[in-house]
Amino acid sequence: MGVHNSINTGKPITVTIDGKECKSTFGKTILEIARENDIYIPTMCYLTKVQPIGSCRMCVVNVEGVDGMILSCQEKAVDGAVITTNNDALFKERQNIMRLYDVNHPLECGVCDKSGECDLQNKTMEFNVDTQHFTARDQHRPVENWGYVSYDPSLCIMCEKCVRVSTEITGDEALKVKFGGYGSTIINVKKERNYASLGEAAAVCPVGALVQTHFKYTTNAWELEKIPSACPHCGGGCQMYYEVKQDKIYRVTNEFEFTNLCGAGRFGYDYANEGVTKDAQAFEAAVEAFKKADSVIFAPQISNEEALILQKLKEKLGFKLICHEARAYQKFMEAYAQVSGKHLYGGNLKDLSKSQGIIILGTRINNDSPTLKYHINMASKWQRARVAYMHPIEDSEMQHIVTQFIKYEAGSEEGAVALLAYTLLSDADIPDTARQALDDLDIGNLSAESNIGEEELEALRKSLLKRHGFSLVVGEDLYAHPRAEQIATWVALLERYAGFNVICVPPAGNAMGVSLVCDLDDTVEGKTVGYNVKGDFTLSALGNGDLDMPALNQQEGTLTTVDKRVVPMHVALPYGGYVLNDIANTLGLRAAYTIDYTAQLPEESGFKSVAFDDLPEYFDTVGNEHRGYLLGEKECDTQLNIEEVGELDTFDGAVIYRCNPENQFSPFTAKSPLLSEEAVLTGSQQFAAVTKLKEGDEIRFEVDGVTFTRVFRIDTAMKGTIALNPTFDMGLSASLLSSYRFSRLSFEKSNNDKIGNNDE
């Protein structure tokens, strides 16, 4: 039996638009088909990336044999339809709509942030509205400051794009329409949260109603130079523009019609290493340090090209090359490839957003990868997807998306994923070794140890019945797990034999790119050079090392994204000091510019031999992405080797989980003043009870050899005995914090009472 499709989506159709014969498929709207064929229909409320809104009515067209005017943005084209997109009557109605939009619209274009890129201005001109034709009594409507964004209701045309973005894309669900006829307005029902994701809602505003607060009244839009780039923070590599004037970034924008940018990308841009000049002495010392180094240790906030430079230096100088997060991910993916037969995971963002069933395992996804969360939210809204969230800690920010929370004990990830495989592969055609391994699982014991009830698994299995399109999103909790390779084996089985679209979310930064470019080592030895990590000699883009380096918004280069795409970054701000390529050239490599390495990225990892300047950077009229290129897929030898599930490490008592707050990923987001965020240890009431900590207590503890001094805060939305411990504020130590994400908490209060719960 085929996939249930009562609405005939995908059937080939032919329609005629303005005399042009257009072939397409059923399910597409008249407007979509027009755009596919470069036929212009004016709109004010249409936003490609969300479902049709239908509030402006500008896009009306005539269809032969159908009386009245048809809303082209919403109405699907039927086979044989003959459509006219423009004539005098249509022009007149569109002109009247523009006259209505212009009624009492404040004449403040001279100071409005949107002036010069305002849809209302543009359409007012296009439809020759030169006087106020209609009148209505004006109303007093004060401006509201919502934190990251501000809302001016008197400029608002109620297109509802921002509400759609808040609902369908970012999923913060903060913005709503307050109905009230002429008095209708947009309201923020979660003002207290000050969501940075509302920047995305502001991005789609066609007028000056919803704007970035910090940007207001700072410059005219047309004075800014748009520098296309990719966001380096979480590993999503989202498309962005730095908007720059006189060596200052005023704001970040994006191709909002087709793509999305989270709060970190939009507001976390101000981290450049500024005012640096060439310090020849420090440079000499750096070269010497490399020569003497036994190990080079670096943070994943690095371009593919610089990672390749380090790899080439390793080959030349023989040092150990260390990047903890990337190495863990690399090992995980190597084990994964042995089962899946491919060197990359099979999933991608588009398929994720079209899934009807999604399982999230081993990641606090709302914090770890906003773009993944957005795509899961899209599936939740568009497909009514069942979303199972498997994690030791519930996340209230995901409640409107998640349909089943499956809690497992910290440390029991291997058991959890084995149970998942057992549940989802029960009817699958799998190799005998895998079937044997499944049959050998002691389900009762695994269920008891992981605390996942068999009835929960049955409910999960049932919720996916008769559905089509499944995705599995796994994350960083798994990569540094002591049993990571075995976990990878189970996950890969689900991709290969249960048809799951799997995404192994890379750790923050460009860890995925690093894992594909570098031959990484496991342990640090001897003398070290650190790059954005504390070493015996430290290169730092944070400005506090032995030699300054440019930050990623001061560099050209490429990033590798979670969507398996290699995308270019451009220089937003100038940099006056030395760069890694200068060191490499001194040490015997030869390249005029760092980006000379772009075409040399390893083809055996799926990179293509394309020069940096030849990388495309655009979206076509219907939103297909042409940004850099997609990594090629390489076949790998397979070898299925499933071990018995290991003894579970127990995490009794108080536990901390390495997790940054929303919008924080690294010392670079920490440096960005607009994202000011307090770094505190956050736990539930229960955690407070177990640790005998009170709100505001300051404690000291150690993780991975790094000492933390943290204030404790209670979050009443949290449950359980696991607290969130951020690392973004840890500067050059942040990247050292890379072991398994959960750890037992043994701490001292600042008054030196030793209270570690496991040591009592």
Size of the site for another protein (CB under 8 A): 70
User: Which of 17, 120, 157, 227 is close enough to bind another protein by CB under 8 A?
Assistant: 157
Name which position in 15, 22, 75, 344 contacts another protein (CB under 8 A).
75
Task: Please give the Cα distance from 545 to 531 (Å, whole number).
Answer: 9
Pick between residue 71 and residue 328 the one whose CB is nearest to another protein: 71
CA atoms of 703 and 745, how far apart (whole Å): 9
The residue (of 83 and 732) whose beta carbon lies closer to another protein is 83
Q: Which range in 154-162, 226-234, 564-572, 609-617 contacts another protein by CB under 8 A?
A: 154-162
- Within 13 A of 318's CA, how many CA atoms are on the CB side? 1
Pick one of 70, 109, 587, 755: the residue that binds another protein (CB under 8 A).
Answer: 70
The residue from 20, 23, 133, 626 that contacts another protein (CB under 8 A) is 133
Nearest CB to another protein, comparing residues 166 and 253: 166
Using CB under 8 A, pick the residue from 24, 43, 55, 367 that binds another protein: 55
Q: How far is the CB of 685 from another protein (least distance, A)?
A: 20
Half-sphere exposure of 298 (CA within 13 A, CB side): 31
Q: How far is the CB of 720 from another protein (least distance, A)?
A: 17
Sites for another protein among residues 500-539 (CB under 8 A) = none
Q: Whole-number minimum distance, CB 433 to another protein, in Å?
A: 32
Residue 682, H or E segment: strand 681-683
Among 82, 109, 158, 428, binds another protein (CB under 8 A): 158
- 402 in contact with another protein (CB under 8 A): yes
- Apex CA 609: angle with CA 603 and CA 610, to 5°? 145
Taking CB under 8 A as the criterion, the residue among 17, 22, 41, 60 binding another protein is 60
Residue type at 653? Answer: G
Rounded Cα gap, residues 147 and 163, in angstroms: 17
Pick between residue 385 and residue 551 the one whose CB is nearest to another protein. Answer: 385
- Non-local (6+) Cβ contacts of 280 within 8 A are none
Residue 66 engages another protein in binding (rule: CB under 8 A):
yes
C-beta separation of 699 from 710 below 8 A: yes
CA–CA distance, 294 with 527 (Å, rounded to integer): 5
Q: How far is the CB of 8 from another protein (least distance, A)?
A: 6
Is there binding between residue 386 and another protein (CB under 8 A)?
yes
Among 7, 143, 611, 717, binds another protein (CB under 8 A): 7
User: Which residue from 40, 91, 134, 593 is in contact with another protein, where contact means CB under 8 A?
Assistant: 134
In the complex, least distance from residue 695 CB atom to another protein, rounded to whole angstroms: 26
Nearer CB in complex with another protein: 22/313: 22
Burial 731-751 (b: 16+ CB within 10 A, else e): bbbbbbbbbbbbbbbbbbbee
Q: Could you count the other beta carbons within 10 Å of the beta carbon of residue 468?
A: 15
DSSP 3-state of 97: helix
Does position 176 interact with another protein (CB under 8 A)? The reply is yes
Q: Cβ of residue 273: shortest distance to another protein, in angstroms?
A: 43
Closer to another protein by Cβ: residue 10 or 574: 10
List binders of another protein among 409-468 (CB under 8 A): 466
Chain-centre distance of CA 654, in angstroms? 30
Taking CA atoms, 39 is separated from 36, 144, 650, in Å, by 8, 39, 63
Q: What is the residue-wise DSSP string for 354-397? A: T-SEEEEESS-HHHH-HHHHHHHHHHHHHH--EEEEE-SS--GG
Is the CB of 388 or the CB of 723 nearer to another protein?
388
The verdict on 91 binding another protein (CB under 8 A) reads no
Long-range contacts of residues 179-188, Cβ cutoff 8 Å, at least 24 apart: 182/136, 182/139, 183/139, 184/158, 185/141, 185/153, 185/156, 185/158, 186/151, 186/153, 186/156, 186/158, 186/160, 186/162, 186/210, 188/144, 188/146, 188/151
Token look-up 């207001």 returns 216
DSSP 199-253: HHHHHT-SSSSEEEGGGTTS--GGGPEEEEEE--SSS---EEEEEEETTEEEEEE
Can residue 181 be called a binding residue for another protein (CB under 8 A)? yes
Residues 740-759 that bind another protein (CB under 8 A): none
Of 25, 51, 445, 709, the one binding another protein by CB under 8 A: 51
At 617, is the secondary structure helix, strand, or coil?
A: strand
- Residue 87 binding another protein, by CB under 8 A: no
CA dihedral 279→281→282→287, nearest 10 degrees, is 120
List the one residue from 88, 128, 130, 136 that touches another protein (CB under 8 A).
136
Residue entry with tokens 């200052």? 248
Contact status: 63 vs another protein (CB under 8 A): yes
558 binds another protein (CB under 8 A): no
Q: Is residue 48 near another protein by the rule CB under 8 A? A: no
User: Given candidates 20, 108, 111, 183, which one binds another protein under the rule CB under 8 A?
Assistant: 183
User: Rule CB under 8 A: which of 100-129 touch another protein?
Assistant: 100-101, 103
Q: For residues 469 and 506, which CB has a smaller minimum distance to another protein in the complex?
A: 469
From 258, 283, 382, 619, residue interacting with another protein (rule: CB under 8 A): 382
Q: What residues have CB less than 8 Å from 263, skipping those under 6 apart? A: 148, 195, 196, 197, 198, 199, 200, 370, 662, 663, 675
Question: In angstroms, rounded to a whole number, what is the distance separating the alpha carbons of residues 56 and 96?
Answer: 11
Residues near another protein (CB under 8 A) are 1, 4, 6-9, 27, 30, 44, 51-52, 54-58, 60, 63, 66-71, 74-78, 81, 93, 96-97, 100-101, 103, 133-137, 157-158, 160, 163-164, 167-168, 173, 176-177, 179-184, 356, 381-386, 399-403, 466
